[in-house]
Amino acid sequence: MMRLKSLMLVLLGLVFLSQFSLGADPILIAHRGMLRHAPENTLPAFSVCLDLGIGFELDIRTTKDGELVVIHDDGLQRTTNGLEKSIRDITWAEAQRLDAGGWFDPAFAGTRIPSLEQTLQLIKDRKKGESIIALNVKQLNPAGEKQLVDLVKKYDLFEDCFAFDQNAEMSKRLKQLNPRFRIGQNVNRKSIDKRLKENVLDVFLLTFPPEKKEVDRLKQAGKQVLFNYAGPGAARRNPAVWNQIRAAGVEGMLTDYSLECRQVWRRADHASKK
């Protein structure tokens, strides 16, 4: 309960600070939602992001009976009270009986694994302005591919969402299902020219801190430019890098530390006005 109260105090402060956000700031994309403050890949973790105007990344898998669900691992034991089973081996009804929050904190006991549709409905209902939702495709069958595209269309989220981590063949099928469905991919510096020549990607999820000229080049080619800085630890919690990619003009950054990063940017703004 104390953790939940502390989170609420942080959020109230960030809501206030967000009123002074510069329009040129990259959109922060919280890795698996606000995973350091709520159970990862759950509606509470996503709701916090939406209330603060922060995007988020989520992971998509499929149940035994074909429901698209949001969970990172194939196995259930790390983030639910389920047995050592695969999400692929249980039905949606069985998944809904699992507790996906109590492992994180008793305040979240009873939180459920969300379906992708529940998540997209939440986004449609609560997002504030422009956002970026990164759909990490972990496991889909052909029927699930169509369902994914249909759901993004149903909630009119083509401009906000993109899919990544799927193989090239699936990317092609998703695009054929609807040309408006956006395809992303992690891209290193050495492969930029190749990816541009292929002209398959709508979203370049850069795995290195880019220079402004690199970002400008990709934008001129009509690509959305993001920086993938997800993961825990000091190597991914570097204010110097946060400020560097902000200056480079990327449109979004995937991170585990979205609240801390926003505070660093606000302090930099305040210092520049003195």
Quick: pLDDT tens for 62-103.
999 999 999 999 999 999 999 899 999 999 999 999 999 999
> Left (φ > 0), alpha (ψ -120 to 50) or beta: where does 38 sit?
beta
Question: 29 with 1: CB under 8 angstroms?
Answer: no
Beta bridge partners of residue 225, listed in sequence order: 204
pLDDT at 108 (0 to 100)? 98
pLDDT at 9 (0 to 100)? 45
Distance CA 147, CA 173 (A): 12
Distance CA 107, CA 5 (A): 10
Question: 39 with 78: CB under 8 angstroms?
Answer: no
Percentage of the chain surpassing pLDDT 70? Answer: 91
Is the confidence at residue 156, as pLDDT, over 70? yes
The chain-wide mean pLDDT, for the chain, equals 92
Distance CA 173, CA 41 (A): 26
Beta bridge partners of residue 136, listed in sequence order: 59, 164
Per-residue pLDDT, averaged over 243-260, amounts to: 97
Question: 92 with 67: CB under 8 angstroms?
Answer: yes
pLDDT at 101 (0 to 100)? 98
Beta bridge partners of residue 133, listed in sequence order: 56, 161
Distance CA 98, CA 83 (A): 10
Q: Which residues are catalytic?
A: 31, 72
pLDDT digits (tens, 9 = 90+) for 8-21: 544 544 444 444 34
